[in-house]
Amino acid sequence: MLFFLEESEKSRDDLVSVLGAEDLVDNILNGQEKINTEQARKLGEFFNLDSSLFIE
């Protein structure tokens, strides 16, 4: 997801506004938490990408 952030020139704070919690965003970016289906849908809309790109 860091790649998408860099390429879109968006920030971690933008992700917090999409996903709703700083701890969640930090855990996802650090690989400590996986992205669920609903989060993937939100990220897909945010980045204008297919949500399946965010699910392992």
* CATH code of residue 9: 1.10.260.40
Which pLDDT score, from 0 to 100, does residue 10 have? 94
Which pLDDT score, from 0 to 100, does residue 48 have? 96
Which pLDDT score, from 0 to 100, does residue 1 have? 85
CB burial of residue 17 (10 Å; 0-12, 13-18, 19+):
exposed
Distance CA 3, CA 19 (A): 17
Give me the number of domains the chain comprises: 1
Tens digit of each residue's pLDDT (9 = 90 or more) over 5-56: 999 999 999 999 999 999 999 999 999 999 999 999 999 999 999 999 999 8
Give the amino acid at 24: L
Structural domain harbouring 30: 2-54
Which pLDDT score, from 0 to 100, does residue 56 have? 80
Which pLDDT score, from 0 to 100, does residue 40 have? 97
